[in-house]
Every structure is written in structure tokens, then in C-alpha cells.
Amino acid sequence: MIQCTAVALLPPPDYIAEQATPERPANTAHVSCELGEHDDDHAQLLWMEDERGGAVWARWNANSTRIEFLPWCGGYHPDRDEACGLFATHPAGHSFEVVDPVREALRDLLSGASPHVFLSDDRPPLLPGRDDPDGP
């Protein structure tokens, strides 16, 4: 399942906007949807609140944007030992079923150019000298 490509701009919070000047404007932030292709509101995780059993998400559609806390999805992929990183009642597939084609293209490009930094698809690149037992 291909990842949704929706992007939206969020205005800065009021306490930041109040400090803006023409010489020092408050920047907007962008959010990009993390869901698989879907029909309803888009979503990007803003920050996790595991003590509450979920996370705060930006949700938006063509008419409005909102910030809301949502509990975690209970989806789990036993073969990959991976929990779904989306919220309960999310549309489309679980996060482990969603493929970001840009991220996959970058992975393919970088793994061909720098295969020594990729151990496998399941591990992040090594930080030379920190995590690499063969490093300096």
C-alpha cells in the first residue's frame, strides 16, 4: 500500500506569532500525511504521549486543521515484531503495511552508493565510531 502524499502548512502557535516582526517572521511548519492511501482526514504524528497510551496528531482536510490526542492502534506484525505506529481507527493499512515511495527510492539509492552503512532493512545506519564495533 502506497503512502498518502498530502502536505499542509500549519501556522505557528499564537505565542510564537505574537513575537514575529517583519524582519523576523514566524515560520509555518509543514506536515505530511503518514497514512496509506485513504479518503478521509490526513494525519501526521506530532509527539508521543505513551503515558496516556497514544500520541498527539495533526489532522487536516481541505477545509480545516485540528490537533488531537488519539490512542495507539493495537495492530501488531508478529513476524517483524513491529507494532502499528498509527492511531486507533486509522483508515487504510497499518503503518507496517504502508510504503513511502520516496523513502524507498532513497534507501535503494543510498544502499547502492554506500552499502557499508546498511546492515539490513531492519536496522538504522551505523554511526561511525559510535555503534560500529569495527569503526574507529
Q: How many residues belong to the site for Zn ion (CB under 5 A)?
A: 10
Q: Is 94 in the site for Zn ion (CB under 5 A)?
A: yes
Minimum CB distance to Zn ion smaller for 14 or for 79: 79
Least distance in angstroms from the C-beta of 75 to Zn ion? 3
Q: What per-residue string of b and e applies to 106-120 under the rule 16 or more CB within 10 Å gives b?
A: eeeeeeeeeeeeeee
Q: How far apart are CA 87 and CA 73, in angstroms?
A: 5
Q: How far is the CB of 67 from Zn ion (least distance, A)?
A: 16
CB of 59 to Zn ion, least distance (A): 10
Are 92 and 35 in contact by the 8 Å Cβ rule? The answer is yes
Nearer to Zn ion, 97 or 104 (CB): 97
In whole angstroms, give the CA distance from residue 74 to residue 59. Answer: 20
What is the rounded end-to-end Cα distance, in angstroms, of the chain? Answer: 40
- 33 belongs to the binding site for Zn ion (CB under 5 A): yes
Q: Does 75 bind Zn ion (CB under 5 A)?
A: yes
Answer whether 89's CB lies under 8 Å from 72's CB: no
The reply to whether 84 sits near Zn ion by the rule CB under 5 A is yes
Verify binding: residue 58, Zn ion, rule CB under 5 A. Answer: no
Supply 102's cell numbers.
520516496
Q: Which residues bind Zn ion (CB under 5 A)?
A: 4, 6, 33, 35, 42, 73, 75, 84, 86, 94
